[in-house]
């Protein structure tokens, strides 16, 4: 099958089902976590009660578990997924990447950048940054869930810490209440918690900025290439009019569409 016939387009199967599911579950989780997180940050402005704040944090944590499991599954899938889902196609590493990146950027300026099935060099940098920030949010969020609400996976150890392991205090310990905590141990725990709050907060701001840049980049690339980049996250297919430079698919994974 020729890929260079005039006025022809070729549809390539790029994103597998797992990658597409991860993407949209992650979108929903991040949006939900952002809304809940901003409500928690601005609790005084919204007049949220102490019980309401615990409820918001509980909802935030529940969504956070879905977010963390979904992210963990995607990170694992990068070892076993299809060609374009793997680390080799995501991370901005490998022999000649810097040269490829510079060449791609120069091509953008003169409107002659090559087509890519998977992530282009700029996309690889962005996706790597997004995955890193998502990972930081997941880990710091799980720690905060333990210090705030005594939720797994660290909540049990945190609860023992703030109660000095007293079984009666442990049995009666409630999120948001200091009634059954040892004051000195609780203050030590709050000191331990503080840097995780800082990391979680600033990583959130960086993540929101990166997401806006990512969306803008996708829109610009879609307008420039008209490759179905956005719809590919629903269908799994990209449609290209020029041969992609990262063509590593088997013949059964591509089909011609005029």
Half-sphere exposure of 164 (CA within 13 A, CB side): 7
The residue that leads in pLDDT, 185 or 95, is 185
For 149-188, letters b (16+ CB in 10 Å) and e give bbbeebbeebbbbbbeeeeebbeebebeeeebbbeeeeee
Measured CA to CA, the distance from residue 180 to residue 192 in angstroms comes to: 19
Phi and psi at 175, nearest 5°, equal -60, 135
Question: How many helices (DSSP H) and strands (DSSP E) are in the chain?
Answer: 10, 3
Phi and psi at 111, nearest 5°, equal 60, 40
Q: Please state the domain extents for the chain.
A: 9-257
Sign of the torsion formed by the C-alpha atoms of 16, 21, 24 and 26: negative
Phi and psi at 13, nearest 5°, equal -80, 115
- pLDDT(258) > 90: no
The predicted pLDDT at position 56 comes to 96
pTM: 0.90
For residue 73, give both structure tokens: 């599954």
DSSP state of 249: -
- pLDDT(244) > 90: no
Measured CA to CA, the distance from residue 59 to residue 40 in angstroms comes to: 11
Q: Which has the minimum average pLDDT: 86-90, 106-110, 142-146, 147-151? A: 106-110
CATH number for the 9-257 domain, one of 1.20.950.20, 2.60.40.1840, 1.20.1090.10, 3.40.630.40? 1.20.950.20
- pLDDT(257) > 60: no
Q: Which of 18, 14, 28, 119 is nearest to 74 (CA)?
A: 18
Mean pLDDT of the chain: 89
- Are 70 and 25 contacting, i.e. CB atoms less than 8 angstroms apart? yes
Q: pLDDT, tens digit, for every residue of 3-52?
A: 343 456 788 889 999 999 999 999 999 999 999 999 999 998 999 998 99
User: Which span out of 70-74, 99-103, 112-116, 253-257 was modeled with the highest average pLDDT?
Assistant: 70-74
């Amino acid at each position: 099958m020729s890929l260079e016939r005039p006025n022809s387009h070729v549809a390539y199967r790029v994103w597998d089902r797992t990658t597409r599911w991860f993407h949209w579950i992650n979108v929903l989780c991040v949006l939900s976590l952002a809304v809940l997180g901003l409500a928690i940050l601005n609790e005084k402005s919204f007049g949220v009660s102490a019980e309401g704040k615990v409820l918001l944090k509980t909802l935030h944590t529940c969504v956070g578990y879905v977010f963390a499991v979904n992210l963990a599954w995607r990170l694992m899938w990068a070892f076993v997924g299809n060609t374009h889902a793997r680390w080799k196609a995501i991370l901005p590493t490998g022999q000649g990447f810097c040269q490829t990146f510079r060449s791609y950027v120069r091509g953008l300026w003169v409107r002659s950048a090559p087509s890519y099935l998977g992530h282009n060099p700029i996309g690889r940098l962005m996706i790597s940054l997004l995955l890193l920030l998502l990972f930081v949010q997941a880990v710091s969020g799980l720690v905060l869930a333990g210090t705030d609400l005594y939720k797994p996976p660290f909540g049990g150890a945190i609860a023992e810490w703030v109660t000095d392991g007293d079984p009666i205090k442990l049995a009666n310990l409630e999120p948001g209440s200091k009634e059954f905590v040892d004051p000195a141990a609780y203050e030590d725990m709050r000191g331990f918690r503080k840097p995780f709050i800082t990391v979680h907060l600033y990583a959130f701001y960086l993540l929101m900025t990166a997401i806006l840049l990512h969306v803008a980049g996708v829109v610009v690339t879609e307008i420039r290439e008209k490759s179905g980049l956005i719809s590919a996250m629903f269908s799994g297919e990209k449609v290209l009019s020029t041969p992609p430079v990262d063509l590593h698919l088997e013949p059964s994974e591509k089909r011609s569409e005029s």
